[in-house]
A and B are shown apart, each in its own frame.
Chain A
Amino acid sequence: MTQDGAILTVENLSIDIPTETGTLHAVRNIGFDLKPGETLCIVGESGSGKSLTSLALMGLLGSSIKTKANRMSFDGIDLIRAGKRQMRSLRGARMSMIFQEPMTSLNPAFTIGDQLIEAMTLHVKGPKSDARNRAIDLLQKVGITSAESRMSQYPHQLSGGLRQRVMIAMALMCGPELIIADEPTTALDVTIQAQILRLLKDLQQEFGMAMILITHDLGVVARVADQVAVMYAGELVETGPTAEIFACPSHPYTRGLLRCIPQPGKTERGTRLGTIPGIVPSLVGDVSGCAFRTRCAHARDICRSDIPEQTAPGETHSFRCIAPDGFAGMDETEEARA
């Protein structure tokens, strides 16, 4: 599914983690493309491998973790074969990351200003005053008032929302072409969440960045994403344009997720919500077939074998399930009964 003009291409990425009891196949054969200015949301629950995927892209996985891929390239640069030095020159400069917990990802012993300036002077030669000006500029852009005086403050003097804004400003210091945000708003209040997401979208439009947003919140996905990739237990079970995924989710897992959340206006108050029974399977040892089969109402024997990826005819929407047209046409009650 490689497309022309993609800034990021991932084909058949697998991540294996050696453990005492065997190899943990944390991510298996996933692939996606991302064009400049586009937003891809990776959705999934804990343990689905979404954060590992982003760390693999940034080259931040430990050496004991094995990453394999047919292709993983950023603007023509092969990220699998890139050396440490090359990765270091990319990270923070052309591709940057916003982590979930701003309290633990900022250094408590340095001021906001020091940390912002360092993000730039590491990559760009030039006077420190330029970096300082850019830092103040960006702090204002991310909506921090009295930016100059904030520069000399330490992380503990800022609230959670402000710290997250500082993280965003830091990620933008060198004007990256790709930004990966791992649950950037999960720890924040809904009001701040809306502000931060708007800010990210505005900055993305202004700078034409590509963005990967990792989240478990389907509300965030619907409002922010251009493309959606749904992950379950290390597999990409469904990918496609946001409107299509929400209008006709085809994989039973995606359908299940959408029924689990109360949707104001759609779900009747006080009624029972949909559930996905069972738990995520162990990914240690041999993993074959559809990982969702242990929790799927439609599972059959054939689900134990490898599941082909299917693309709905004439569409960019694809899913990994044996049902030829998915379960998009299936009645909700029928599925609940099954």
Chain B
Amino acid sequence: MTGTETPFLELRNVTKTYKIKQGLFGETKSLDALKDLSLKLSKGDVLGLVGESGCGKSTLAKILLGLEAPTSGQVLVDGTPIGGHDRLALARRIQPIFQDPYSSLNPRKTIQDLIALPLRVHNVGDEASRTKAVREILDVVGLPSRVLTNYPSQMSGGQRQRVAIARALVMRPQIVICDEPTSALDVSVQSQILNLLGDLRSEFGLTYLFISHDLAVVEHLATQVAVMYLGRIVEETDAAALFDNARHPYSQALLKSVLTPDPAMEVPDTQLGMAYPNPIDPPSGCHFHPRCPRVTSLCKTQTPRPVVDTQGLVECHLHDPQANMTPARQEALT
């Protein structure tokens, strides 16, 4: 993979603004779920997307799936804007796996119907070849063909998530958006699904966008990691670099709050202070400054610009060589 190659999937300066009206006669306010966000995904990458609830992870997933249109900016697949693709063509290439297999599968359809539905929608083959394709994909995700006539209620959480994966893969997509695919599952089932996702990636050459709040899982699976905060990507780099040497104070705080099963350690003090800010009324300057343990006066007034260097992208005054260096900041850096 060369750097000059057209990225498989690219977001260019995407902004998504929701209009929110408070009360019947309240004034309408705008909420920027995504703010001027750019992102690239190369073939075969696993991009882990992390951040607290409300940071815009799921909005990003919806835009990539074509379920929401960006307010401004472009989404490009293989260099062509999504607007140029029709919805069906896009769905053939990008498929989702959702968090909760209890609510993402229609309880009144059999497993056969559920998995064959994408094939029917896209008019692929006849009934017989579809049945064959469904059996094949069931085998790939490790389910016996006798479950074909089952309903979702007859299956365990892990089995349902395998059905959801089979349904996503039956069209042989190139990109799979996994939105918290294991957080509703038990520990022993989670590891099976993670292993399966890893196997499928090498078998079908899949590219994943992997949204998760479990950083241990992201560390295990991802090749690239993007950290989101209030609709912006504040740090993006390859997984090893992020987990060994996170640069943004928010990434550092997130990593610190991961509870590794080590009884010798206490519950960490994240030093994040209290609440996640209200996205309708974001803080001035750097949005993270009210919670940042290394805040300076510059952060309160000036929005940091994205800095891209050999270690990836980071959006923080501490790591911007052009930012005005005060003695206090120099001290904070060392």
List CB contacts (< 8 Å) of A251-287 with chain B: 256-265, 267, 269-270, 272-276, 279
Number of A-B contacts (CB under 8 A): 134
Q: A161 near B275 (CB under 8 angstroms)?
A: yes
Give A190 to B50 CA distance when docked, in angstroms: 11
Is B144 interfacial (CB-CB < 8 Å)?
A: no
Is A243 interfacial (CB-CB < 8 Å)?
A: yes
Contact with A along B250-266 (1 / 0, CB 8 A): 00011011111111111
By a CB distance below 8 angstroms, the chain B residues around A201 are: 266-267
Contact size range, B: 35 or more
Q: A216 near B213 (CB under 8 angstroms)?
A: no
By a CB distance below 8 angstroms, the chain B residues around A24 are: none
In the complex, which of the residues B188, B220, B259 has the most CB atoms of chain A within 10 Å of its own CB atom?
B188
Q: Distance in Å from the Cβ of A224 to the closest Cβ of chain B?
A: 6
Give A219 to B240 CA distance when docked, in angstroms: 21
Given A246-B263, A264-B216, A269-B219, check contact A194 B191 (CB 8 Å).
Answer: no
By a CB distance below 8 angstroms, the chain A residues around B260 are: 219, 222, 263-265
Is B239 interfacial (CB-CB < 8 Å)?
A: yes
Contact size range, A: 35 or more
Give A218 to B187 CA distance when docked, in angstroms: 9
Is B129 interfacial (CB-CB < 8 Å)?
A: no
Point out the residue from A190, A260, A264 that lies within 8 Å of B190, measured CB to CB.
A260
Closest residue on chain B to residue A228 by CB atoms? B263
Q: B272 near A223 (CB under 8 angstroms)?
A: no
Q: B257 near A193 (CB under 8 angstroms)?
A: yes
Q: B216 near A261 (CB under 8 angstroms)?
A: yes
Q: B219 near A273 (CB under 8 angstroms)?
A: no
Q: A276 near B188 (CB under 8 angstroms)?
A: yes
Is B153 interfacial (CB-CB < 8 Å)?
A: no
Which A residues lie at the B interface, using CB under 8 A? Answer: 45-46, 143, 145, 159-162, 189-195, 197-198, 201, 216-225, 242-243, 245-247, 256-265, 267, 269-270, 272-276, 279
27 chain-A/chain-B pairs, Cβ below 8 angstroms: A145-B274, A160-B53, A162-B275, A189-B213, A189-B276, A191-B270, A192-B52, A195-B270, A198-B268, A201-B266, A216-B186, A217-B259, A219-B258, A220-B259, A222-B259, A223-B263, A245-B263, A257-B188, A259-B191, A261-B191, A262-B217, A264-B215, A265-B260, A269-B220, A270-B220, A270-B221, A275-B188
Which B residues lie at the A interface, using CB under 8 A? Answer: 52-53, 156-157, 186-188, 190-192, 194-195, 198, 213-217, 219-221, 239-240, 243, 253-254, 256-270, 272, 274-276
